[in-house]
Structure 1
Protein backbone atom coordinates (compact mmCIF):
# COMPACT_ATOMS: atom_id res chain seq x y z
CA UNK A 1 0.00 0.00 0.00
CA UNK A 2 1.25 3.46 -0.78
CA UNK A 3 1.42 6.10 1.96
CA UNK A 4 -1.63 8.24 2.56
CA UNK A 5 -1.41 11.82 1.34
CA UNK A 6 -3.84 14.25 2.95
CA UNK A 7 -5.15 16.87 0.53
CA UNK A 8 -5.64 19.58 3.17
CA UNK A 9 -3.38 22.60 3.69
CA UNK A 10 -0.49 21.82 6.08
CA UNK A 11 -1.78 24.23 8.75
CA UNK A 12 -5.19 22.58 8.79
CA UNK A 13 -3.65 19.11 8.86
CA UNK A 14 -1.46 20.08 11.80
CA UNK A 15 -4.41 21.49 13.75
CA UNK A 16 -6.59 18.43 13.15
CA UNK A 17 -3.86 15.94 14.00
CA UNK A 18 -2.89 17.85 17.14
CA UNK A 19 -6.49 17.88 18.41
CA UNK A 20 -7.02 14.18 17.64
CA UNK A 21 -3.71 13.29 19.27
CA UNK A 22 -4.63 15.24 22.43
CA UNK A 23 -8.05 13.53 22.57
CA UNK A 24 -6.49 10.07 22.28
CA UNK A 25 -3.74 10.95 24.75
CA UNK A 26 -6.16 12.22 27.40
CA UNK A 27 -9.01 9.74 26.98
CA UNK A 28 -7.37 6.77 25.23
CA UNK A 29 -7.26 4.02 24.32
CA UNK A 30 -10.34 4.73 22.18
CA UNK A 31 -12.26 2.98 19.43
CA UNK A 32 -13.03 4.86 16.22
CA UNK A 33 -16.62 5.49 17.39
CA UNK A 34 -15.46 6.84 20.76
CA UNK A 35 -12.89 9.06 19.06
CA UNK A 36 -15.56 10.43 16.72
CA UNK A 37 -17.83 11.25 19.68
CA UNK A 38 -14.98 13.14 21.40
CA UNK A 39 -14.16 15.03 18.18
CA UNK A 40 -17.82 16.08 17.85
CA UNK A 41 -17.82 17.27 21.49
CA UNK A 42 -14.76 19.43 20.82
CA UNK A 43 -16.37 20.81 17.64
CA UNK A 44 -13.30 20.34 15.46
CA UNK A 45 -13.75 22.00 12.09
CA UNK A 46 -12.07 20.76 8.97
CA UNK A 47 -13.22 17.15 9.18
CA UNK A 48 -15.98 16.34 6.72
CA UNK A 49 -17.14 13.22 8.56
CA UNK A 50 -16.25 10.03 10.34
CA UNK A 51 -14.68 8.48 7.22
CA UNK A 52 -12.41 11.53 6.85
CA UNK A 53 -11.36 11.14 10.49
CA UNK A 54 -10.56 7.46 9.85
CA UNK A 55 -8.24 8.48 7.00
CA UNK A 56 -6.50 10.99 9.29
CA UNK A 57 -6.15 8.31 12.01
CA UNK A 58 -4.61 5.90 9.49
CA UNK A 59 -2.22 8.62 8.32
CA UNK A 60 -1.23 9.35 11.93
CA UNK A 61 -0.65 5.63 12.49
CA UNK A 62 1.61 5.44 9.42
CA UNK A 63 3.65 8.34 10.74
CA UNK A 64 3.83 6.64 14.16
CA UNK A 65 1.90 9.34 15.99
CA UNK A 66 -0.66 6.77 17.16
CA UNK A 67 -0.66 3.04 17.47
CA UNK A 68 -3.42 0.49 17.10
CA UNK A 69 -3.85 -2.20 19.75
CA UNK A 70 -6.19 -5.16 19.79
CA UNK A 71 -8.28 -5.94 22.86
CA UNK A 72 -9.10 -9.62 22.45
CA UNK A 73 -11.87 -10.86 24.77
CA UNK A 74 -13.01 -14.37 23.90
CA UNK A 75 -14.15 -14.52 20.28
CA UNK A 76 -14.52 -10.71 20.07
CA UNK A 77 -11.82 -8.32 18.91
CA UNK A 78 -11.82 -4.61 19.58
CA UNK A 79 -9.25 -2.34 17.97
CA UNK A 80 -8.24 0.72 19.98
CA UNK A 81 -6.16 3.76 19.08
CA UNK A 82 -3.69 4.95 21.67
CA UNK A 83 -0.81 7.38 21.80
CA UNK A 84 2.67 6.00 22.31
CA UNK A 85 2.71 7.53 25.80
CA UNK A 86 -0.69 7.53 27.50
CA UNK A 87 -1.56 9.24 30.74
CA UNK A 88 -1.36 6.81 33.64
CA UNK A 89 -4.62 6.41 35.57
CA UNK A 90 -2.88 4.62 38.44
CA UNK A 91 -1.58 7.82 40.04
Structure 2
Protein backbone atom coordinates (compact mmCIF):
# COMPACT_ATOMS: atom_id res chain seq x y z
CA UNK A 1 0.00 0.00 0.00
CA UNK A 2 1.18 3.52 -0.74
CA UNK A 3 1.26 6.11 2.08
CA UNK A 4 1.79 9.84 1.60
CA UNK A 5 4.08 11.38 4.23
CA UNK A 6 4.54 15.03 5.19
CA UNK A 7 7.23 16.60 7.36
CA UNK A 8 7.02 19.96 9.12
CA UNK A 9 9.33 22.47 10.81
CA UNK A 10 12.69 21.09 12.01
CA UNK A 11 11.95 17.62 10.60
CA UNK A 12 11.46 19.12 7.14
CA UNK A 13 14.74 21.00 7.51
CA UNK A 14 16.68 17.95 8.75
CA UNK A 15 15.38 15.69 5.99
CA UNK A 16 15.45 18.25 3.20
CA UNK A 17 11.95 17.33 2.00
CA UNK A 18 8.46 18.44 2.92
CA UNK A 19 6.69 15.39 1.48
CA UNK A 20 7.45 11.88 0.29
CA UNK A 21 5.73 8.54 -0.08
CA UNK A 22 6.31 5.13 1.46
CA UNK A 23 5.29 1.72 0.20
CA UNK A 24 4.23 -0.71 2.93
CA UNK A 25 3.66 -4.39 2.21
CA UNK A 26 0.21 -5.82 2.79
CA UNK A 27 -3.18 -4.21 3.23
CA UNK A 28 -2.87 -2.89 6.78
CA UNK A 29 -0.36 -1.15 8.96
CA UNK A 30 0.13 1.71 11.36
CA UNK A 31 2.15 4.89 11.71
CA UNK A 32 4.93 2.91 13.44
CA UNK A 33 5.30 0.86 10.25
CA UNK A 34 5.67 4.09 8.28
CA UNK A 35 8.38 5.25 10.70
CA UNK A 36 10.20 1.93 10.39
CA UNK A 37 10.18 2.18 6.59
CA UNK A 38 11.53 5.74 6.75
CA UNK A 39 14.25 4.82 9.26
CA UNK A 40 15.30 1.93 7.02
CA UNK A 41 16.51 4.55 4.52
CA UNK A 42 19.42 5.23 6.89
CA UNK A 43 21.48 8.39 7.39
CA UNK A 44 19.51 11.54 8.15
CA UNK A 45 16.27 9.53 8.29
CA UNK A 46 17.46 7.50 11.27
CA UNK A 47 18.78 10.57 13.05
CA UNK A 48 15.78 12.87 12.46
CA UNK A 49 13.20 10.18 13.27
CA UNK A 50 15.09 8.45 16.09
CA UNK A 51 12.96 6.76 18.74
CA UNK A 52 14.35 8.98 21.49
CA UNK A 53 13.31 12.16 19.64
CA UNK A 54 10.02 13.80 20.42
CA UNK A 55 7.61 14.49 17.58
CA UNK A 56 3.89 14.42 16.92
CA UNK A 57 1.96 12.29 14.44
CA UNK A 58 -1.19 12.95 12.45
CA UNK A 59 -3.01 10.44 10.25
CA UNK A 60 -5.35 11.82 7.62
CA UNK A 61 -5.14 15.26 9.26
CA UNK A 62 -6.21 14.04 12.72
CA UNK A 63 -3.87 13.87 15.71
CA UNK A 64 -2.76 10.29 16.18
CA UNK A 65 -0.17 7.99 17.73
CA UNK A 66 2.28 5.60 16.17
CA UNK A 67 -0.26 2.83 16.87
CA UNK A 68 -2.87 4.54 14.67
CA UNK A 69 -3.92 2.54 11.63
CA UNK A 70 -3.06 3.60 8.10
CA UNK A 71 -4.54 2.37 4.84
CA UNK A 72 -3.68 2.73 1.19
CA UNK A 73 -3.67 6.43 0.35
CA UNK A 74 -3.44 7.63 3.96
CA UNK A 75 -1.53 10.81 4.72
CA UNK A 76 0.82 10.60 7.70
CA UNK A 77 2.40 13.79 9.01
CA UNK A 78 5.31 14.11 11.43
CA UNK A 79 6.15 17.35 13.23
CA UNK A 80 7.97 18.49 16.36
CA UNK A 81 5.99 19.44 19.47
CA UNK A 82 4.74 23.00 19.33
CA UNK A 83 5.18 25.43 22.18
CA UNK A 84 3.81 28.90 22.42
CA UNK A 85 2.43 31.49 24.67
TM-score (norm 2): 0.39
CA radius of gyration, larger in: 1
Higher relative contact order (CA 8 A, sep 6+): 2
Which has the larger helix fraction?
1
TM-score (norm 1): 0.37
Which has the larger strand fraction?
2
